[in-house]
Amino acid sequence: MSATQTAQLTRTHRILIGVVIAGAALIAAIGFTGSYTAVRELAEKKGFGNFSAVFPIGIDAGIVVLLALDLLLTWIRIPFPLLRQTAWLLTAATIAFNGAAAWPDALGVGMHAVIPLLFVVAVEAARHAIGRIADITADKHMEGVRLTRWLLAFPSTFRLWRRMKLWELRSYDQVIQLEQDRLVYQARLRARYGRAWRRRAPVDAMMPLRLARYGVPLAKTAPDGLAAAGIEAPVATTAGVDAAGRPPA
């Protein structure tokens, strides 16, 4: 990608971010304006007196501050989950306060919930993006397994996903390559010892497979294992190709 394309992409991102921020602020403002009167009147009925005028402001300000602080702490990689949970609890309380004004009209209660839910979804999307960016920046981002693989081969995919999580293997392509190496190694042992290869193969030949369960790449252990099994390891036939038949990274 050229510098011009990168600059154009950066400007596009900034425009989209500006639109999203403006839209989220507009949604929050509309939600506050729409709920202020209902919450204030409810507070007056409950005996809040003069405090009724500022009670709705305090709740909405608390939601904004808690969510903003949660986004900030997520960005600098020191998240504090209680902030987010408290903000959503206050949001649910606001919806309940507004719904009480329309009760028992189910449609009215639902209408009061629409705007706060839009705001919740927007903030959750922003938090997700910030969390991903922070992980990538810190080289801590762990890629997920493709949905199609979960659907087509659930048992083996679960084992692959478990291995990723246990041994902090962050690259999906890396894990797939490790799995392919494992299957190829097993196929070579099966070809050498038949269907009962797990019992017939010597311990040293099985050791690479056991170590692979703990995240040790077969590229490091396969040559010794194949030698113990009396199998000739593949050799490079072309410059720039390693012993496993793959080009160097």
Q: Tell me the per-residue pLDDT of 83-92, one tens digit each, with 9 for 90 and over.
A: 888 988 888 8
Could you tell me if 70 and 120 are in contact, meaning their C-beta atoms sit under 8 angstroms apart? no
pLDDT computed for residue 236 by the predictor:
46
Could you tell me if 219 and 244 are in contact, meaning their C-beta atoms sit under 8 angstroms apart? yes
pLDDT computed for residue 240 by the predictor:
40
Alpha-carbon span 204 to 192, nearest angstrom: 15
pLDDT tens profile 120-158 = 788 778 777 777 776 655 555 567 788 888 888 888 888
For the chain, the structural domain boundaries read 3-137, 147-228
Could you tell me if 91 and 63 are in contact, meaning their C-beta atoms sit under 8 angstroms apart? yes
Is the predicted pLDDT of residue 196 greater than 80, yes or no?
A: yes
Could you tell me if 50 and 70 are in contact, meaning their C-beta atoms sit under 8 angstroms apart? no
Helix (H) or strand (E) holding 46: none
Q: Among 20, 37, 41, which Cα is nearest to 118's? A: 20
pLDDT computed for residue 7 by the predictor:
40
Alpha-carbon span 211 to 226, nearest angstrom: 14
pTM for the whole structure: 0.48
Is the predicted pLDDT of residue 225 greater than 60, yes or no?
A: yes
pLDDT computed for residue 249 by the predictor:
45
Per-chain mean pLDDT for the chain: 78
pLDDT computed for residue 237 by the predictor:
37
pLDDT category at 3 given cuts 50, 70, 90 is very low
Is the predicted pLDDT of residue 187 greater than 70, yes or no?
A: yes
Is the predicted pLDDT of residue 159 greater than 70, yes or no?
A: yes
Question: What is the arithmetic mean of pLDDT over 40-66?
Answer: 85
Apex 202 CA angle, 207 and 200, nearest 5: 120
Alpha-carbon span 98 to 196, nearest angstrom: 69
pLDDT tens profile 92-116 = 888 788 777 667 777 777 777 777 7
